[in-house]
Amino acid sequence: MTVIRSILFGVLFYGGTLIIGFCYIPLAVLPGRIGRPFFRFWVVYSAFMVRWVAGIRHRVVLRDDAVWPDGPAIYASKHQSAWETLVFNLLLPNPVFVLKKELERIPFFGWYLPKMRQIAVDRKAGAAAMRGMVAQAEDVVADGYSIVIYPQGTRVAPGVDKPYHPGVYALYRDVNLPVVPIALDSGRLWARNGLIKRAGTVTVAILPAIPPGLDRKAFMSRLEQAIESESRALHEAACG
């Protein structure tokens, strides 16, 4: 059943994305404010495929009296699979994602990313990339959007250690918003590079926000410890 679900998901998700992307070609030359409601249809379609075809549900828990920020914030999340890149579009308020610029080269999908106000970062550009990221972030925050960033910069399988990159601190320092750590366990159902999707429930833990004002060392240590310890606990609890 798992294999059948996974194949069906692949056919419907990628096939549907291709059809939607082709139909949306005229939107690539129109202002983003016109296209955004249409792009949201793809988001809803993707979430529907994840829930009803792949069978992956989710639940959200607030840890240690954590609350949703009242207004724009920076959400710094664990990144274990493609699941969060799809579902976070509906789960988080007005999200804009920090992503690698190479994704803009993907036919159809990549063409629409700038229209969605996503923050594309050229990782080969060094300090210039950091400045560009902050400038884009300031623009979208001024328009009422929140920012989602994966501090490790890539998908990381459960139990694997990867360093946290300084880009999240640049946003925290210069955009001057609270950072909300997010832990999750999506990787046990949807592997980092795997085709198989296992039915089950992903737990997303919203952790207490880190207020502006910490220095780099204190901030990075607090962020990493919060996300990693909670993600390990979620994985261990789910796997017994």
Concatenate the DSSP letters of all residues of 11-78 into one string: HHHHHHHHHHHHHTGGGGGS-HHHHHHHHHHHHHHHHHIIIIIS-EEEEEEE-TT----SS--EEEE-
Give percent of the chain above pLDDT 70.
97
Q: What is the pTM of this model?
A: 0.93
Query: DSSP 3-state assignment of 117?
Result: coil
Q: What is the pLDDT of residue 179?
A: 97
- Segment among 12-21, 71-80, 117-126, 145-154 with least mean pLDDT: 117-126
Q: Hey, which residues does 210 pair with through a beta bridge?
A: 179
Q: What is the pLDDT of residue 34?
A: 65
167-195: average pLDDT:
92
Q: Is the pLDDT confidence value at 232 over 90? A: yes
- At the second CATH level, the architecture of 57-239 is 3-Layer(aba) Sandwich (3.40)
Per-residue pLDDT of 96-153, as tens digits, reads: 999 888 887 887 777 777 777 888 888 776 778 888 899 999 999 999 999 999 999 9
Q: What is the pLDDT of residue 35?
A: 65
Distance CA 75, CA 73 (A): 6
Contact in structure between 68 and 93 (CB atoms under 8 Å): yes
Q: What is the pLDDT of residue 126?
A: 74
Distance CA 34, CA 39 (A): 10
- Segment among 26-35, 54-63, 100-109, 224-233 with least mean pLDDT: 26-35
The token pair at 209 is 């926000």
Higher confidence at residue 175 or residue 34?
175
pLDDT band at 32 (very low <50, low <70, confident <90, very high): low
Higher confidence at residue 165 or residue 126?
165
Mean pLDDT of the chain: 89
64-69: average pLDDT:
84
Radius of gyration of the chain (CA): 18
Higher confidence at residue 89 or residue 64?
89
Give the phi and the psi of residue 11 in degrees, each rounded to 5: -65, -45
